Amino acid sequence: MHRVFNFSAGPAMLPVPVLLEAQKDMLDYKGSGMSVMEMSHRSKVYDQIIVEAEADLRKLLNVPANYKILFVQGGGTQQFAMVPMNLMKNKKADYIISGHWSKKAFEEAQMYGQATAIATSSDKKFTYVPAVKHLNITPDADYVYMCQNETIHGNTMWEIPDTQGKLLVSDSSSCFLSEPLDVSRFGLIFAGAQKNVGPAGVTIVIIREDLLTDEVFPGTPTLMRYKIHAENNSMYNTPPCYAIYICGLVFKWLLSIGGLEEMKKMNEKKAGYLYDYLDHSRLFKGLVEKKDRSLMNVTFKTPSEEMDDKFVKEAKAAGFDNLKGHRSLGGLRASIYNAMPYEGVVALVDFMKQFEAKNL
């Protein structure tokens, strides 16, 4: 069998024990005589899968009892619309723009009301995160929106913004379950699974119960109302059954290695090793200001586009795949989510050192 170190930003690597477990269950899930892909979402056997997945996620993140966990479809992108459609009561919301994804969310929100960019780091191409301490918040804004980890630029908002009592909404897609998170600070958190917790096709939404309402933007489709998903335990219609099952296995894997505190230590060790090399390299340069660096998506570049291309090609041939930066930004990016082993990062740095020696 041949497996590469896959540095893709998403869909991304999954833990090998999870893939092996899924393989074992493929033809006959626990004596049911069928694959999880083939079973009714209304069956007892599937019910246990989704109920356990939710309970394990609750345990991992210490989700308070007054929050619902939803499994929905449409990716992070659909949340860009669902958030304003469900939460913009005064038709006003404030957005912190720290990169590509928060900008997209901001643009989408403008279709449903008055979205205001209250902070942005676009002046330096999102190589840092704007200050979030003294935000100029709109007095009757319904919520403040942030993206916790900007996947493309490789920055993380390490400080939770002071929203002066306003509801805080976070797109946590690319750092979800990479470390503990105080859910009680947020009204709503969402995360597309394919970055750090599972296959594409399911998006996890954690929403405070008092935000489940029938007062939504006129014409909001049934399936885009959080309340409908909450009332039906994510089973108003057929959920992405198999993707939820794999997420459930990932949650169990995270619990088995010691939970999110442990995961955080491993992620800090991995990212620390790579950033330390970047800080000393004479060929490669990190793109983000030190204080705002992401532990998940490490962006960097060589002195030229040609050299970047050469690196991507040679790295791929050596078993390090998907190191090209996002098409909108260029450069290089190593996504080192939970499932990337420390050995993968050490091997990458060894390869980078050799490349540097040959090309300097």
Ligand X SMILES: *Cc1c(COP(=O)(O)O)cnc(C)c1O
Q: Which residues are near ligand X by CB under 6 A?
A: 10, 75-77, 101, 147, 151, 171, 173-174, 192, 195
Distances in Å between the Cα of 28 and the Cα atoms of 1, 6, 333 are 23, 29, 39
Q: Which is nearer to ligand X, 186 or 311 (CB)?
A: 186
We find the least distance from the C-beta atom of residue 76 to ligand X, in angstroms, to be: 3
Buried b (16+ CB within 10 A) or exposed e, 88-99: beeebbbbbbbb
Smaller CB separation from ligand X, 17 or 158 = 158
Question: Cβ distance 63 to 108 under 8 Å?
Answer: no
Residue 8 to residue 323: CA distance in whole angstroms: 7
Q: Which is nearer to ligand X, 152 or 352 (CB)?
A: 152
CB of residue 100 to ligand X, shortest distance in Å: 8
Catalytic residues, by residue number, are 101, 171, 195
**Residue whose beta carbon is closest to ligand X:** 75
Give the C-alpha separation, 164 to 214, whole Å.
26
Closest approach, Cβ 335 to ligand X, in A, equals: 10
Q: Of 207 and 283, which has the nearer Cβ to ligand X?
A: 207
Minimum CB distance to ligand X, residue 73 (Å): 10
Smallest separation (angstroms) from ligand X to the CB of 24: 28
108-115: long-range contacts, CB 8 A cutoff, minimum separation 24: 108/80, 108/81, 108/84, 109/80, 109/83, 109/84, 109/145, 111/81, 111/84, 112/81, 112/84, 112/85, 112/88, 112/217, 113/84, 113/88, 115/84
